[in-house]
Structure 1
Amino acid sequence: MRTTYFNEKDVILSVNDYNYLSDNISETFNISYGIDKNFLYGCGISIASILVANQGTSLTFHVFTDFLTEDVRNKFSKLAQKYGARIIIYLVNCDALKSLPSTRNWTYATYFRFIIADYFAGKAKKVLYLDADIGCKGSIKELIDLQFTENEIAAVVMEGNTAWWGKRAETLHTPGLAEGYFNAGFLLINIAAWNAEEISKKAIEMLRDPEVTSKITHLDQDVLNMLLVGKARFIDPKFNTQYSLNYELKKSVVRPVNDKTVFIHYIGPTKPWHLWGDYPVSACFLNAKDHSPWKDDALLAPKTAAQYRYCAKHQLHQKQFVKGILSYVLYFKKKITK
C-alpha cells in the first residue's frame, strides 16, 4: 500500500527532464539530492564526480530544489548529455517545510529527503539520497547490487564512536542508539519499507512536537536515527567518509580518505567549491569540476564574515600571507558593519 505524507501534486511545481540514457537501457540506478540555491553548484559537481568515477553505468539523478536558473538548467543538460546519463530537476514548493526547526547551518532544505522518499513510492525499489557536499572517487556497483531484507528501511554509515552513540542514546531517550548512530547525508532507501513504516509522516510529526525538538540537536538526522533503530543496515564507512577541510588547519590531522573510499563527505563550513578549500583531499571534486560544464566557473569567494574568517585562516595556512591578511581585514570590516 502506498502511504505518503507529501502529495506529489502539492509539492512538485515543475519538472525538467534531460534524458541521454541509451535507448537499450532497461534499468537505471536512481540517485537523489535535495538542495537550496546555495548548494546548486556543489550538487552539479557531486553528480559529475559520480559520472566520472562510474562511466558506463546507467545512472539517473533527481535534483529537488526550490531555486533554478536558465544557466543551471543548461549546465545540467550538458552534463547529462556528456556522460549519457539522465538528470531530472524538480522545482519544489517547500512552504510546508519552512515552519520546521532550522539552524544557521541547516535550512529547511534538509527536509527535502522526506519529499524525495515519498515521491518515489511506487516508482522505484530503492533510491540513493546524497548531500550535495559529497564527492565520489570510486565505483558504486556494491550499492547498485545491494539487496534489502524485507524489514530493512535503509542502508547507512555510522558516525562517531561508542561514546558518541551513548550520548545520543541518552539525550534522545532512545537506548538502541548506543549500538550505532548514523550520518543522514547518505541514505540508501528501501522505498517500499520506508513508506510501509510511514517514516516521512512520523518524522515530520516528531519535528513539530515540542517535546522532541527540545531534545534534538541534529534535526532530521536525530529523528531518523530514532525512527530507524533496528531497521537500518550499517555498511562500510567507505560509502560516507566524513572529513572537514577545516581539519587541515590543525597541527596534526588524521585523514580517513584512502584508496578504498567511494564517497567523501565534506562536512563543516568549508567546502571544496570554496576558494580557500583547495587541498589534496579536494582532488576528486576539483577533477570532476574540470570535466563538467562548470569547468570555467570560478571557485566561490567568501561573502559572509564567517567565510572571510575561514578564508583568512586557510590562506595563511597555505602561506598566501598577503591574501590572508586582506581577508582578515575584510572579515573585521564585515563584522563591524554587520
Structure 2
Amino acid sequence: MYFNQDQVISNVLNYNYFDDQDDLNPSFNIAYGIDKNFLFGCAISISSILLNNNNQKFQFHIFTDYLDDDFKAKIKALAQQYQTSISIYLVNCQELKKLPSTKNWSYATYFRFIIADILYPTIDRLLYIDADIICKGSLEELISLDIDDYVAAAVTEGESVWWQKCAQRLAIDNLILGYFNAGFLYINIKKWQEDDVSGKAMALLAQESIRSKLAYLDQDLLNMIIVGQVYFLDKRYNRQYSINYELKAAKGTYYPNPIDDATIFIHYIGPTKPWHTWAAAYPCANYFIEAKRHSPWQNDPLLVAMNANQWRYCAKHQFHQRKPMAGLLSYFKYYWYKIFK
C-alpha cells in the first residue's frame, strides 16, 4: 500500500440510505476520482447506473478535492431517491500536484491509485469508471464475472496496430496482445495490493527515462505494470465515442456511432462532453439527458464553455448545427479567452 488514508484523505461524508430489509445482500462497489470540472458528470453517471440497474445494491465512492454545498445536498438527495449508499472522500492533493500532468489530464487522473489503496482491505472488488461514462444497460453479467486470477478486467483501446505502437513506445513487448483504456477498470483489489501496483507506478514516475515515454500518463503506467494480468472484456463495457466526431457528418445528419442495444457503458471521450450545451442537439447525448432527467439535477442547466478550447468547439458545433450567429459569438469568446485568460 503506497497511499495512507491519514495523509491523503481529509474528510469522508457518508450518505447511506439502503433499505433496512436489504442488509444481507452484498453491494457492488463503484468508484470515481474527479476534480471540480467533473462533479456534474459524476453525479449523472451514478444516476445512469441506478436508473438501469434498479434490482442491484450499490456502494458508490467519490474521491474529489472539491465540494460545494449544492453538490452535497443533491448527492444526499440522489442516495435517498434510489435508496443507495454514496460516500465522498475529500482528497489532499498537494503530493499529487507534483506528478506529471497535461492540459487534458489533470492530477485527478492519479486518483485511481489512491482509491485502490484507501478502500483496501474493506472491499475486494471495485469498478473504477471515469465521470464521462454513462450506463445504459445491466451490470448483472459483470458483477458475476470471476477475476480471481487477474489484477483487473478492462477493455482494449484501438486495435492491434495501435497496440503494436504502444508496445514499441513503452518497450513492453506483451502489449501487442492488448492495450487497455484505463477509464473503465474492474479491479481485483487484493491482487492489486499483492503486486504493489500503486508503489510501482510512483517508482516509475520518478524515472525521467520512463516519464519521457508516457503519452497517456497513468493509463500507460497501468498497462506497463499489469501487462499479462488483465481480463479483456467486450467493447460494449467501454464503448468510446467522441461527440466531436459529429463535426465530420454532413450538416443535417448525424455521424454513425457504435452505440447500440448491446452497449453497457458509453465513454464520451474528447473535450466535448454530453453535459455541454452544444452537445445536447445530438442523439448520442440522449443517454446523459435521460439520466439527468431522473436525478436531483433534472432542473439544472447544461454547462456553457469555460475556457478557450471549449469555446472553440462550441463555435464549431454551433456552425455545424446551422446556428451562425451563436457560432460567431462563441468564436469571439474563444479569441477573448485565448488572449486575455
The answer as to 2:322 corresponding to 1:324 is no
> 1:25·1:58 contact (CA, 8 Å) conserved in 2?
no
Give the alignment's TM-score, normalised by structure 1. Answer: 0.97
The SS at the match of 2:81 is helix
Distance in structure 2 (CA, Å) of the matches to 1:286 and 1:272: 8
1:281-326: CA deviation from partner (whole Å, max 9, x where unpaired): 1111111111111111111111211111100111111112221121
Code of the residue aligned with 1:285 in structure 2: it is: F
The SS at the match of 2:167 is helix
Code of the residue aligned with 1:89 in structure 2: it is: I
Write out aligned runs for 1:1-150 (5 A): 4-23=1-20, 24-26=22-24, 27-150=26-149
Residue of structure 1 in register with 2:161 after alignment: 163
**How far 1:71 moved relative to its partner?**
1.1
**How far 1:153 moved relative to its partner?**
0.2
Distance in structure 2 (CA, Å) of the matches to 1:335 and 1:313: 16
Distance in structure 2 (CA, Å) of the matches to 1:72 and 1:306: 26
Distance in structure 1 (CA, Å) of the matches to 2:147 and 2:276: 37
Code of the residue aligned with 2:91 in structure 1: it is: V
The answer as to 2:176 corresponding to 1:178 is yes
- Show structure 1 runs of 5+ residues with no match: none
Code of the residue aligned with 2:212 in structure 1: it is: S
Distance in structure 1 (CA, Å) of the matches to 2:131 and 2:23: 27
Code of the residue aligned with 2:235 in structure 1: it is: P
Distance in structure 1 (CA, Å) of the matches to 2:87 and 2:306: 30
Query: Identity across aligned pairs (percent)?
Result: 53
1:139-176: CA deviation from partner (whole Å, max 9, x where unpaired): 011121111133x0000000011111000000100000
> 1:207·1:220 contact (CA, 8 Å) conserved in 2?
no
**Number of equivalenced pairs:** 334
Code of the residue aligned with 1:317 in structure 2: it is: H
Code of the residue aligned with 1:6 in structure 2: it is: F
The SS at the match of 1:242 is strand
Code of the residue aligned with 1:82 in structure 2: it is: Q
- Show structure 2 runs of 5+ residues with no match: none
Distance in structure 2 (CA, Å) of the matches to 1:50 and 1:78: 16
Code of the residue aligned with 1:276 in structure 2: it is: W
Write out aligned runs for 1:273-288 (5 A): 273-278=275-280, 279-288=282-291
Code of the residue aligned with 2:37 in structure 1: it is: N
> 1:125·1:192 contact (CA, 8 Å) conserved in 2?
yes
1:225-250: CA deviation from partner (whole Å, max 9, x where unpaired): 01111100001111100000000000
1:12-50: CA deviation from partner (whole Å, max 9, x where unpaired): 111110001112332100000000111111100110111
Task: Quote the RMSD (CA, aligned, Å).
Answer: 1.1
Code of the residue aligned with 1:277 in structure 2: it is: A
Residue of structure 1 in register with 2:274 after alignment: 272
Distance in structure 2 (CA, Å) of the matches to 1:16 and 1:300: 26
> 1:33·1:131 contact (CA, 8 Å) conserved in 2?
yes
1:64-113: CA deviation from partner (whole Å, max 9, x where unpaired): 00111111111100001001110000111122211111000101000000
> 2:148·2:188 contact (CA, 8 Å) conserved in 1?
no
**How far 1:115 moved relative to its partner?**
0.5
Residue of structure 2 in register with 1:213 after alignment: 211
> 1:52·1:288 contact (CA, 8 Å) conserved in 2?
yes
Code of the residue aligned with 1:299 in structure 2: it is: L
Distance in structure 2 (CA, Å) of the matches to 1:143 and 1:25: 22
